[in-house]
Structure 1
Amino acid sequence: MNRALLVIDVQNEYISGNLPIGFPDPEVSLANIGKAIDAATEAGIPVIAVQQTAPETSPIFARGSHGFALHPVVSSRSHDHLIEKTLPSCFAGTDLEEWLAERDIDTVVIAGYMTQNCDESTARDAAHRGLKVEFLSDATGTLAMSNHAGSLGAEQLHSAVLVVLQSRFASVLTTGEWIDAVEHGTSVPKPDIFASTQAGRDAAAEGRLM
């Protein structure tokens, strides 16, 4: 296994800007992002910082604004590559796929924001490109959503995405579990769509699901 850590959009916009992360508590996710970067650096795993960018007139991620800037938890640490993107997936319109291929990287590790947007899009895209994906449940996060289709709280949305990703697209684990896997070669939970649906059916039949 040859990993690279993607630190996705850990920018001020999500902490002190117009898109404040609601769950997990950003103090928790930021601390875990820092731990993941440090562990990756110690293990010789490349760290790729990713930065969402928008025109200067945009209400979010406007180039040159405070919200656009990388949060200090990332900017104070070294990284091996920096990607700017305008779309959710880190692969869309960037050199990420080529950069990974040149280094024979077969596994991407996802940390950062938002769970259901850039994180999930990147995880699915990576899986479709034949890469393994590890998704850090407590080094990612999101906020509440409400629109024409309905409303979801931040914790509900975050948790639902984790379950979906673990069913098919990614190995979902905590930062501590991931660091242990890196340091000691311990196994990570493998995605399994049939096992996930079977367990879901069993839980529903037993009245453990709403």
Structure 2
Amino acid sequence: MASSIRKRNPNPKAAVLLVIDMQNYFSAMAKPILQNLLTTIRLCRRVSIPVIFTRHCHKSPSDYGMLDEWWNGDLILDGTPESQLIPELDDVRAGHQDHVVEKNTYSAFRGTGLEEYLKERDIQEVIVTGVMTNLCCETTAREAFVRGFRVFFSTDATATSDEELHEATLKNLAYGFAYLVDCNTFDQLPFH
């Protein structure tokens, strides 16, 4: 486990939980972290931290960009079963009007209106969870940091295809971009 250089807890009054790309396409990768993610979502809701889900999907060849070349055409097309959020999230989403951000690249900020949405609500902190640790989660965390948001990155509610890639991302983010947290962090946050 990468050790965190700096320690801090999120401020529930200023934070949002980002759940990145927990879609059917990534279900094999998502399953091992699912219980930690569900715990994190429930604990964040308990202290009134809003939850935003992202869905990676492509609507037409005009939005494929470099991902088409890089992944040899293996893209998540909107409207397919693979593009939908995994059904295991249904229970934690029931009864909530969660914001869902659609994106077509690694960053949840690029061309999505997410930054404006957060600023309108005076959100100053983002907590990053989901998949893939080293691609969409890391890119979103880095972009949040350079856009002036305080970033918290989950060590146990993020996953990718390879443990070494996961650990490398945690080390890089702890060094220069994010406070590392786990689902136990949220169990200690005060109610208000």
Above 0.5 in TM-score? yes
Q: Which one of the candidate residues 152, 157, 172 is aligned to 1:164?
A: 172
Task: Give, in whole Å, the separation in 2 of the partners of 1:42 and 1:50.
Answer: 21
8 Å Cα contact 1:28/1:138 also seen in 2: no
Tell me the equivalent position of 2:134: 116
Superposition RMSD in Å: 1.9
Counterpart code for 2:45: T
1:53 and 2:57 aligned: yes
Tell me the equivalent position of 1:94: 112
Counterpart code for 1:6: L
SS of residue in 2 equivalent to 1:183: coil
In the comparison of the two structures, how many residue pairs are matched? 166
| 1:55, distance to aligned residue in structure 2 (A) | 3.9
Tell me the equivalent position of 1:73: 88
TM-score (norm 1): 0.73
Runs of 4+ in 1 over 2 A off after TM superposition: 55-60, 73-76, 180-185
SS of residue in 1 equivalent to 2:81: coil
Gaps of 5+ in 2: 1-10, 62-72
Task: Give, in whole Å, the separation in 2 of the partners of 1:61 and 1:27.
Answer: 19
Gaps of 5+ in 1: 144-153, 186-210
TM-score (norm 2): 0.80
Counterpart code for 2:82: G
| Greater RCO (CA < 8 Å, at least 6 residues apart) | 2
Counterpart code for 2:47: A
List aligned pairs for 1:176-195, cutoff 5 A. Answer: 176=184, 178-183=185-190
8 Å Cα contact 2:106/2:136 also seen in 1: yes
Task: Give, in whole Å, the separation in 1 of the partners of 2:54 and 2:150.
Answer: 19
| 1:113, distance to aligned residue in structure 2 (A) | 0.5
CA change 1:40–1:116 in 2 (3 A) is same
Tell me the equivalent position of 1:140: 158
Tell me the equivalent position of 1:7: 19
